A and B are shown apart, each in its own frame.
Chain A
Amino acid sequence: MEPIHILDLQKTCDEDFIHEVEAASGQQVRKCYQCGNCSATCGFTRFYDYPVNQIMRLVQLGQRDIVLGSRSVWLCASCQGCTTRCPCNIDVASVMESLRVMSRTEKKVSESDIQMFYDEFLRSVKAFGRVFETGLLPVYGLLSRKPFTDMDLAPVVLRKGKLSFFPHRIGKRGEVAGIFKRFEQSAQKDNAGKGGSHGQ
């Protein structure tokens, strides 16, 4: 993880980054005047590295690597508290979401196990059309080397008859797989077009 060069912020300011974040989120990050309401409302501040108002400030300062590599962008739960309470009407949660997507594209994800969990989730959707909880959780456990997360809950879940051992395959899962296929194709085209200008 990159240290912040406090005295060198101008040197490390990446103007493109500011514009990319604003374009992706449709929000004017420039409007943020650092009141701190977003962080005051955010239940996740204590788990973040940079509180969300600092993330906003770091975006204004064009600190691409620090922002995209932060834990905060991956720990944000999209609870919409910040968006609801920002006096400048900035959709802060949407900025966080765009940052999450960018950190993925630029391969700067700090919380790789959370990304892995999401990837497994989507793999299940692509294969079966729906998510299959029993199948998903053990796979995540093995991949993240945290096997048996939630094993303490297994007996009660079984007793309540709440786990299904077979995926719910929907008949038209081909339609869902088709959406993923077209998405992957267009993402490939985009990447080829950009020639990998960032995050190298």
Chain B
Amino acid sequence: MASEHSSVAYYPGCSVEGLAIEYDQSTRAVCKALGIKLLEIPEWSCCGSTPAHSLDPTLSGALAGRNLAIAERMGCAVVMTPCPGCLRSLKGALEIHDSPERRQALLDLMGMPFEGKVRAISVLELLFNALEAGLLTEARVKRPLTDLMIAPYYGCLLTRPPGFAQFDDPENPVSMDRILTTIGATVVDFPFKTECCGATYGVARNPIVTELTGRILDMAARLNAQAVAVACPLCQQNLDLRQSQVDRRWRRSFNLPVVYLPQLVGLALGIAPDELGLDKLVVSADALLSDLQKVSEGI
């Protein structure tokens, strides 16, 4: 595992260039700290996301496939992306390529050689593999997240559908839980791990998002979580950036920080908060930091 991941092609995805910039920062910082070499795919392009799926599956495959083809040329066996939506498109391209009836149409649209030999994984899977391979261990944790109660929220796509995701359990995933406990946090038994946050409807159908996201925040709050951990830029945007809209809809103030998993891992590894983009979160995570401060001073 460790050698497979020693050099990984990195597909950031469009959202990390804007609203999810801290996800990119923290992913890169954590990989560096763990000795995982990320090679950004040069001139990577948008995977087409839901809009391309809703127009034509082969078009979606070709837009995503272009990036996989470049990764292949770089000689990488694994492509990692922090965005589960992008992951779905990248895997969709591989699925079409695997199908003898659909392959030629894909290659025709792509207009470049593509052998379909790379594997696409999420940053969660990469970190979980690092854990299993002994790269991420309790011994490497410099600032354990002791006393922090965290709700692990996986969202829809990281483990579903199971045949496609080929990772963790679709009903009760535990990979994030295990990473969080390794870095010292306490994980709440979160029944809404894989409920949908409303996905892309924040703009076009805002009430859908404030309703669904509100349920997730409400459950996390009722279980006394001090933060929600996420591994998806869209989930994070709905839960964090839109939390003020959720507050208005639910007439309450959740004030729950929604933190990217690599940010939490990075903190535990002793990386400075500003290198992890913690100041970019809309709902401030400062309360978590002061808790950590106390803990490390206590040691």
Contact = CB atoms under 8 A, between A and B. Distances in A.
A114 interface: yes
Interface string A134-167: 1001001000100001101100110011111000
Interface string B129-148: 00000000000000000000
Contact of B51 (A46, A47, A118, A178): A118
A101 B55 contact: yes
B19 A162 contact: yes
| Interface SS majority for chain A | helix
Contacts of A153: 241-242, 244-245
Interface string B262-284: 00000000000000000110100
B245 A152 contact: yes
A30 B208 CA distance: 31
B121 interface: no
A183 B198 CA distance: 30
A80 B110 contact: no
A172 B161 CA distance: 33
Interface in B42-79: 43-46, 48-59, 62-63, 66
A176 B51 contact: no
Given A80-B160, A125-B46, A186 B109 contact: yes
Interface in B93-151: 105, 108-112
Interface in A9-57: 43-44, 46-47
Contacts of B241: 153, 156-157
Given A78-B199, A129-B45, A144-B204, A156 B282 contact: yes
A129 B62 CA distance: 13
A5 interface: no
A83 to B, nearest CB: 4
Q: Size class of A's contact patch?
A: 35 or more
B21 interface: yes
A83 B164 CA distance: 11
Nearest to B212: A43
B161 A178 contact: no
B45 A176 contact: yes
B195 interface: yes
B196 interface: yes
Nearest to B171: A84
State which size class the interface on B falls in: 35 or more
Contacts of A4: none
A114 B53 CA distance: 13
A74 to B, nearest CB: 8
B280 A160 contact: yes
B272 to A, nearest CB: 18
Given A114-B204, A121-B49, A179-B111, A43 B195 contact: yes
B200 interface: yes
A182 B157 contact: no
A160 B43 contact: no
Nearest to B49: A121
B205 interface: yes
A162 B63 contact: no
Given A77-B199, A170-B45, A119 B18 contact: no
A47 to B, nearest CB: 6
A83 B204 contact: no
Contact of A125 (B45, B109, B200, B211): B45
Contacts of B58: 183
B285 to A, nearest CB: 13
Contacts of A172: 43, 45
Given A130-B17, A156-B282, 4 more contacts: A78-B53, A91-B161, A115-B54, A163-B18
8 contacts: A81-B156, A84-B161, A101-B57, A129-B45, A130-B45, A157-B241, A176-B45, A187-B56
